[in-house]
Amino acid sequence: MSTAHLTIDLAAIATNWRALAQISQVETAAVVKADAYGLDAARVAKHLAQAGARHFFVAVAEEGVALRRALGAGPSISVFSGHMDGDAAAISGATLVPMINSLDQMLRHVEALPAHPFGIQLDTGMNRLGMEPAEWATLREIALAQNPTLIMSHLASADEPDHAMNEKQRAVFEDMTAGIDVPRSLSATGGTLLGPAYHYDLVRPGIGLYGGLPFVGALPVVTLDIPVIQIRDVAVGETVGYANGWIAQAPARIATISAGYADGLIRAMGPKASLFADGVSVPVVGRVSMDLITVDVTALRDPPESLQLLGPEQGVDALGACAGTIGYEILTSLGARYKRTWTT
């Protein structure tokens, strides 16, 4: 078998969730949008529910319907995109809680599903989702009369603890929710790490559960082992890969491994990335192809059967940095071709 092997450590995800719950000391939800950052929302959420998570967030109603099927009745499932046109059957059928983002969504929701639970999303400066202060001011009394279950907002720069935007958004959030007796939520992973002033009644970590920054203390969650298909020796001056991307300056041993950019291994990572064999780092040489990557394994004593791209030695953020991106994008790009194993 030549497909690469992705293992997803569900126990580590649960440990990371417990660690963030310990830090926050308030209700700790789990964000499982985008199929739990590519790691399988149904499996991840079921495991977290067993660990004690009672509140899950998804991006869109369709994800919520699939998640409800996996989780059954009980846990709360909230939808960041709110109540979009055509969502009423899904929201009602799967008992989802839309985070209402605008006056239009509010009207749509109370008209289609009167008395169905909903939350409110406020924009405190990110200018992405949620009601702005002026819109909220006009809608506030009407919305509160309908008993929202949560009022939330989202921080733009929480991964930078010293960024002035954090305190600025917190002040706006305080202002917009002053005197309101409804549970509040401001923080994802980054905000959870900013301290108690940012926790309010519920925190909503995503990336920290999956081993990514800014949760420095997270356990790594994914390992990716890629089989070696072929090994060859090249002489000085020989080239490797498309466009003669690499030229041997000394005799070298090249391993060709079975994964490429079609598996989410971003082509741009090529020149900077390394793989690992028993703790020894071996560099990618030449261009990343669609299904193949070439690696200089001269440093290894024995010919490797596989090389590890993600694991304890190189996490999703370190690999992301090689491609000029972030751990989030590495995770959500992980390919469909991998043989996946979930360990508990």
Ligand X SMILES: *Cc1c(COP(=O)(O)O)cnc(C)c1O
Give me the residues that bind ligand X (CB under 6 A), please: 31, 33, 80, 154, 188-190, 204-208
- Annotated catalytic residue: which of 37, 46, 200, 242? 242
**Nearest C-alpha neighbor of 210 from the set 222, 198, 202:** 222
Task: Look up tokens 């990335």; give the residue.
Answer: 273
CB of 142 to ligand X, least distance (A): 23
CB of 293 to ligand X, least distance (A): 28
Residue 223 to residue 6: CA distance in whole angstroms: 6
**Residue type, position 22, single letter:** Q
Q: What does the CA dihedral 49, 54, 60, 61 come to, rounded to 10 degrees?
A: 100
CB of 249 to ligand X, least distance (A): 42
SS (H, E, C) 74-102: CCEEEECCCCCCCCHHHHHHCCEEEEECC
CB of 126 to ligand X, least distance (A): 9
Overall size of the chain counted in residues: 344
- Is-catalytic flag, 200? no
**Contact partners, residue 66, CB within 8 Å, separation at least 6:** 41, 42
- Is-catalytic flag, 33? yes
* CA angle at 224 for the pair 264 and 306, rounded to the nearest 5°: 110
Of 190 and 264, the one with the shorter C-beta distance to ligand X is 190
Of 45 and 257, the one with the shorter C-beta distance to ligand X is 45
In this chain, which residue has its C-beta nearest to ligand X? Answer: 206
Of 205 and 320, the one with the shorter C-beta distance to ligand X is 205
Of 135 and 238, the one with the shorter C-beta distance to ligand X is 135
Residue 9 to residue 17: CA distance in whole angstroms: 13
Pairing of strands 96-100, 119-121: parallel
Quote the tokens at residue 22.
């310990």
- Annotated catalytic residue: which of 33, 46, 210, 328? 33
Of 31 and 285, the one with the shorter C-beta distance to ligand X is 31
* Sequence-ordered alpha helix ranges (H) in 96-233: 103-112, 133-145, 164-177, 189-192
CB of 303 to ligand X, least distance (A): 39
Task: Look up tokens 């005799």; give the residue.
Answer: 251
Of 19 and 207, the one with the shorter C-beta distance to ligand X is 207
CB of 187 to ligand X, least distance (A): 8
Indicate the helix (H) or strand (E) that contains 286: none
Catalytic residues: 33, 242
